Amino acid sequence: MTATVANPVLPGCYPDPSVCRVGDWFYLVTSTFEYLPGLPVLRSRDLVTWEQVGHVVHRPEQLGPDGLDYAGIGASGGLYAPTLRHHDGRFWLVCTLVDRDGGSGAGGRSRRGHVLMTAEDAAGPWSAPVWLDGDGIDPSLVVDEDGRWWFHATRPVAEPAWPGQTEVWLRELDPAAGRLVGPEHVLWTGALHGAVWAEGPHLYRVDGAWYLVAAEGGTEHQHAVSVARADRVTGPYTGHAGNPVLTHRHLGRGSDVVGVGHADLVEAADGSWWAVALGMRPYGGYHYPLGRETFLVPVVWEDGWPVLAPGVGRVPAEVTVPWPAAGRPGAAQGAVSGVVPPDDLRWTAVRALPAEVARPVDDGWDLPLRPETLADVAAPAFLGLRLQHRTADLRATVTAALADGEEVGVALRQSEDHHVRLAVTRGPGGWSAAVVHRDGGADRAGAAVPLPGGPDAPLTLVLRVRGVDVDLLAGAGDAEPVVVGRADLRTLDSVATGGFLGVWLGLYGTSHGRPTGTVARVASVAYTPAG
Ligand code: 6LW
């Protein structure tokens, strides 16, 4: 019996995947940037069906000034590139809290940099973050044959021989003390002379040799996976003659998958090897509104080196595993449709936990409006879900006794400076809706459309996503929602805006800076892939 899965295994914004195995289970984490809860944890017995069991950053105690402080972290900053490993009966996770500019938080701001968190159960609770000194991003961990722990990450070279040159560096970790000890070793600056951003490093010990798998070329079109080998963990590392071992950069912009890189390897219980890697699927031209997604790739070993996607040399559209499926595809795989209850692990808020900005009520939420808007680097009243399909509807039913100057609505979000919102307000003449595009930091409002219905009439708000075209619809009471305006996802993806994220769909409420006691009652929100 075998089972087959379509790539990507996690559609939508699930970048920088890291995977490990504990007995019969595989566990996987991905980056979440400014969204919380942070770092979704998924598990699978078959690599084919994945179930989300929790998040690494899920408790208020992990946040705030002494912990992971999201205050002031702009869009596409936040938690980058986690690595998940399991040793001594615990899960160990390292990742980096980053400012959008990649800065290290000088000048009295809260701490930025690498953190270590642990848990006995991957579902949590996860520990408070322990800060580890050291520069750069993309940390990883490996334990050697003597039980010594080695932390590795990437950082810019102090005196680069070419622009964008980075180096993978290594130091021993004392896991009990939670600090790096001993001398530093520089392992690698990429397979190619002139390669930018050797990053996403992971070390493995296989059959007595050390392997370094790292990305290079940057996480966009030129992304690639390379591998190097050494006799000792500290090096010297020699690159494989076949590098890069996986890339789609030579396939051109018309390729159905681009930007493949940032791979992590795992050995299954039967001795077979697999990689997870990120990639993007462009549509509507060279745009990828779904963001960087997680793909599964088979691996074999030949002559002491890993071969990724043997015989094919690229991320396959489907992957067959040599065992039966042990579960069902989960919500994070885009396989669950309809009302998304508040306890669904897909809910995220910006720079705050969902429970800090909203209260679960039956199938929906009480969403107290906040003075902050989606344009502020703050924690607005926003609850969102990743867009995971080219064709999907988000439909929300909302009641709200709005005061003057207040609005509720649904939004397509990339960042503070790039989002589109369907904004509903209430004036003396009744409900009115308008689509507002925030593009490069400036608002452009479409015509206001009056919505018939009394002040208590529930609002129906819809984002109808059809490829890169989105209709934004609103209705009050029993009236069918009408199209208030349109958006083009090609203005909202990271190709257009920069940054690292896919598009989020969400609901929000704001009083535009004024104190407010208004609470929007969101009776339900449904995310329905169509077609
Ligand atoms: C990730 C790094 C990268 O840490 O993007 O450009 C960062 N490369 O590997 C965010 O996903």
CATH number at residue 246: 2.115.10.20
- pTM beyond 0.95, yes or no: yes
Phi-psi region of 124 (alpha: psi -120 to 50; beta: other; left: phi over 0): left
Q: What is the DSSP letter of 480?
A: P
The 10s digit of each residue's pLDDT in 315-336 is 999 999 999 999 999 999 999 9
How far apart CA 476 and CA 240 sit, in angstroms, is 63
CA within 13 Å, CB half, 6? 5
Phi-psi region of 113 (alpha: psi -120 to 50; beta: other; left: phi over 0): left
Measured in angstroms, how far is the CA atom of residue 225 from the centroid of ligand 1?
Answer: 13
Measured in angstroms, how far is the CA atom of residue 81 from the centroid of ligand 1?
Answer: 6
Q: What is the DSSP letter of 8?
A: P
| Ligand 1 atom at minimal distance to the Cα of residue 218 | 6
Among 427, 392, 390, CA closest to 410: 392
Q: Which residue has the CA at smallest separation from atom 10 of ligand 1?
A: 80
Q: Does the pLDDT of residue 106 top 90, yes or no?
A: no
User: What pLDDT shows up at residue 164?
Assistant: 97
My answer on whether 305 and 408 are in the same domain is no
Banded model confidence at residue 104, pLDDT cuts 50, 70, 90: very low
Banded model confidence at residue 102, pLDDT cuts 50, 70, 90: very low
- E-strand stretches of 99-216: 113-119, 130-132, 137-143, 149-156, 166-174, 179-188, 199-206, 209-216
The 10s digit of each residue's pLDDT in 397-453 is 999 999 999 999 999 999 999 999 999 999 988 999 999 999 999 999 999 999 998
Amino acid at 97: L
Instruction: Tell which of 333, 350, 381 closes a domain.
Output: 333
Cis amide leading into 371 (omega within 30): no
Known active-site residue 372: no
* For range 160-188, the mean pLDDT: 97
- Distances in Å between the Cα of 436 and the Cα atoms of 367, 385, 412, 464, 486 are 21, 20, 11, 16, 10
| Ligand 1 atom at minimal distance to the Cα of residue 154 | 9
Measured in angstroms, how far is the CA atom of residue 368 from the centroid of ligand 1?
Answer: 34
Domains of the chain: total:
2
Cα angle 82, 84, 89; round to 5: 150
Cis amide leading into 11 (omega within 30): no
My answer on whether 227 and 279 are in the same domain is yes
Q: Are the C-beta atoms of 214 and 297 separated by less than 8 Å?
A: no
293-302 and 305-308: which strand pairing?
A: antiparallel
Banded model confidence at residue 107, pLDDT cuts 50, 70, 90: very low
The 10s digit of each residue's pLDDT in 113-151 is 999 999 999 999 999 999 999 999 999 999 999 999 999
Q: Describe the strand order of the beta sheet including 166-174 as a list of residue ranges.
A: 137-143, 149-156, 166-174, 179-188
Measured in angstroms, how far is the CA atom of residue 78 from the centroid of ligand 1?
Answer: 11
Measured in angstroms, how far is the CA atom of residue 462 from the centroid of ligand 1?
Answer: 33
| Ligand 1 atom at minimal distance to the Cα of residue 220 | 6
Banded model confidence at residue 531, pLDDT cuts 50, 70, 90: low
My answer on whether 503 and 374 are in the same domain is yes
Measured in angstroms, how far is the CA atom of residue 209 from the centroid of ligand 1?
Answer: 27
| Ligand 1 atom at minimal distance to the Cα of residue 76 | 10
My answer on whether 226 and 367 are in the same domain is no
Instruction: Tell me the best of 33, 220, 500 to mutate to test the pocket of ligand 1, counting ligand atoms within 8 Å of each CB and taking the most.
Output: 500
List 16, 138, 167, 416, catalytic entry: 16
The 10s digit of each residue's pLDDT in 13-66 is 999 999 999 999 999 999 999 999 999 999 999 999 999 999 999 999 999 888
Q: Are the C-beta atoms of 503 and 489 separated by less than 8 Å?
A: yes
| Ligand 1 atom at minimal distance to the Cα of residue 16 | 11
Measured in angstroms, how far is the CA atom of residue 330 from the centroid of ligand 1?
Answer: 26
Instruction: Tell me the best of 115, 165, 199, 223 to mutate to test the pocket of ligand 1, counting ligand atoms within 8 Å of each CB and taking the most.
Output: 199
My answer on whether 508 and 495 are in the same domain is yes
| Ligand 1 atom at minimal distance to the Cα of residue 200 | 9
My answer on whether 362 and 323 are in the same domain is no
My answer on whether 422 and 400 are in the same domain is yes
Banded model confidence at residue 109, pLDDT cuts 50, 70, 90: low
Length of the chain: 531
Among 118, 85, 111, 86, CA closest to 97: 111
Instruction: Tell which of 317, 333, 349 closes a domain.
Output: 333
My answer on whether 300 and 402 are in the same domain is no
Q: Are the C-beta atoms of 485 and 446 separated by less than 8 Å?
A: yes
Q: Which residues contact 383 (CB under 8 A, 6 or more apart)?
A: 347, 348, 349, 354, 357, 358, 365, 367, 506, 507, 508, 522, 525
Torsion of the alpha carbons at 112, 118, 123 and 125, rounded to the nearest 10: -80
How far apart CA 20 and CA 88 sit, in angstroms, is 14
Task: Please give the span between the terminal C-alpha atoms of the chain, in angstroms, as a whole number.
Answer: 30
Residue entry with tokens 């972290």: 73
My answer on whether 480 and 443 are in the same domain is yes
Q: Hey, what are 21's tokens?
A: 């195995």
Q: Are the C-beta atoms of 78 and 70 separated by less than 8 Å?
A: yes
Instruction: Tell me the best of 73, 165, 262, 280 to mutate to test the pocket of ligand 1, counting ligand atoms within 8 Å of each CB and taking the most.
Output: 262
Q: Which residue has the CA at smallest separation from atom 9 of ligand 1?
A: 200
Q: Hey, what are 402's tokens?
A: 């709005």
How far apart CA 526 and CA 340 sit, in angstroms, is 6
My answer on whether 313 and 352 are in the same domain is no
- Ligand 1 pocket by C-beta < 6 Å: which residues? 15-16, 31, 80-81, 137-138, 197, 199-200, 215, 218-219, 262, 500
Instruction: Tell me the best of 138, 168, 226 to mutate to test the pocket of ligand 1, counting ligand atoms within 8 Å of each CB and taking the most.
Output: 138
My answer on whether 268 and 138 are in the same domain is yes
Instruction: Tell which of 281, 311, 333 closes a domain.
Output: 333
Q: Does the pLDDT of residue 298 top 60, yes or no?
A: yes
Q: Which residue has the CA at smallest separation from atom 7 of ligand 1?
A: 80
What 3-state class would DSSP assign to 450? Answer: strand
Known active-site residue 16: yes
Residues of the domain holding 413 = 338-529
Amino acid at 299: V
Cα angle 367, 371, 376; round to 5: 105
Q: Which residue has the CA at smallest separation from atom 6 of ligand 1?
A: 219
My answer on whether 297 and 351 are in the same domain is no
Cα angle 29, 230, 17; round to 5: 10
List 172, 199, 293, 406, catalytic entry: 199
Count Cβ neighbours within 10 Å for each residue of 170-206 and write b for 16 or more, e otherwise: bbbbebeeebbeeeebebbbbbbeebbbbbbbbbbee
Q: Hey, what are 263's tokens?
A: 């791979």
Banded model confidence at residue 100, pLDDT cuts 50, 70, 90: low
Banded model confidence at residue 105, pLDDT cuts 50, 70, 90: very low
| Residue 481, burial from CB neighbour count under 10 angstroms (0-12, 13-18, 19+) | buried
| Ligand 1 atom at minimal distance to the Cα of residue 199 | 9
CATH at residue 480? 2.60.120.200
How far apart CA 495 and CA 285 sit, in angstroms, is 11
Measured in angstroms, how far is the CA atom of residue 243 from the centroid of ligand 1?
Answer: 20
Among 81, 175, 89, CA closest to 130: 175
